[in-house]
Amino acid sequence: MNGFEQVVGHKKVIAHLQNAIRNHTVSHAYLFDGEDGAGKNLVAKVLAATLQCEAGGTEPCGQCRSCLQMDTGNHPDVFWVTHEKSILSVDDIRTQLCDPMSILPYSGPKKIFIVDEAEKMNDQAQNALLKTLEEPPEYGLIILLTNNSETFLQTILSRVVRLPFLPAPHEDVVHFLMEKKKLPDYRAGLVAMLAGDNPGRALALSESEEFQAQKDEVVSLMKGLRNMGAEKRIATTKTLVERKADLPDYLDLMLVWVRDLLYYKAEPKKARLMFAAEKDAIAEESEYYTFETLSRFVAEIEELRAKMKANVNPEASVWTMLCHMAEQTETRYE
Ligand SMILES: [Zn+2]
């Protein structure tokens, strides 16, 4: 098991935790608050490993018995609270956290409970947890992980140290994808951007074959925009509507394409293209469009995205967008 260096982003959170370890001021309860995929589980795991490590540093040593037990997921004093139903019930919290907390640790200095998806605790479960939070034993540590801290009772929030997990810096996510998935830089950049710089989501996206296929389809759609007659428009509308669930991803990719054209038009030599593998096509396409036209494309795509969120009829909306975009390209030759 490696240390905090494998976490993408969250430098402030890690510095805070390592300071607390150094100064022996580690709290009895933390709330890691941020999107799914941000890295909360990983930070919780490294924190637990560090606190249990026999070497007693600010990183797990990776070699002692405790660290090896963490590696295999068999540490006798680190627990992941799980739930079978869609909520974390009062029984889950009592049997997996409150009751075992009252028993001394088996071998480590601490007894650590990590509650993933803690927002799924109902009020009863939160009240049961509250009792333990009010009088935690010296050795006890509770780490709550959540993507929505608004669901917690104020009494819980006032007894935990809340650490926000913000999106990682874009370059860090790009670097992570290049290292871990061996992606070329342009592709890592595109994936990171589409994932909103969320490392977990970026990882999932980079592994998705569907994503590759979507990308190819969008490139072919955007290249064909100039010569898109009525028949092709009908077929494309049909294709896009059939993939309704993926339509937001398609629209994101379309936006990236249009932005690439804009960047290339502005600075053909220096433009850092997301679709770098399509550089020749982008160079050619950018000749056919004015800045104004491309800006309208952005507006059209954004408008369709807003309509999809508002559940407007997708068929009519996609059709309208394609017609508007195709018209834009025709007027130039009139
Ligand atoms: Zn160790």
The answer to whether residue 333 scores a pLDDT higher than 70 is: no
Give me the domains of the chain, ranges plus CATH numbers: 4-165 (3.40.50.300), 208-331 (1.20.272)
Ligand 1: distance of its center to the CA of 51 in Å?
A: 9
CA separation for the pair 88, 42 (Å, rounded) = 21
Instruction: Identify which has the larger pLDDT, 279 or 19.
Output: 19
For the chain, what is the mean pLDDT? 90
Residue pLDDT, tens place only, 254-275: 988 998 999 899 888 888 788 8
Which of 19-23, 88-92, 236-240 has the least mean pLDDT?
Answer: 236-240
Ligand 1: distance of its center to the CA of 54 in Å?
A: 5
Ligand 1: distance of its center to the CA of 23 in Å?
A: 19
The answer to whether residue 91 scores a pLDDT higher than 90 is: yes
How big is the CA angle at 115 (ends 111 and 116), to the nearest 5 degrees? Answer: 140
Ligand 1: distance of its center to the CA of 61 in Å?
A: 4
Helix (H, G, I), strand (E, B) or coil at 193: helix
What is the residue whose two structure tokens read 């009751």? 99
The answer to whether residue 319 scores a pLDDT higher than 60 is: yes
Q: What is the amino acid identity at position 205?
A: L
Q: What is the dihedral of CA 97, 46, 144, 103, to 10 degrees?
A: 20
Ligand 1: distance of its center to the CA of 5 in Å?
A: 16
The answer to whether residue 62 scores a pLDDT higher than 80 is: yes
Ligand 1: distance of its center to the CA of 71 in Å?
A: 10
Q: Within 10 Å of residue 212's Cβ, how many Cβ atoms?
A: 11
pTM assigned to the model: 0.74
Ligand 1: distance of its center to the CA of 291 in Å?
A: 58
Ligand 1: distance of its center to the CA of 37 in Å?
A: 26
pLDDT band of residue 3 (cuts 50, 70, 90) is very high
Ligand 1: distance of its center to the CA of 290 in Å?
A: 61
Ligand 1: distance of its center to the CA of 101 in Å?
A: 23
Ligand 1: distance of its center to the CA of 307 in Å?
A: 54
Chain centroid, CA 55 distance in Å: 33
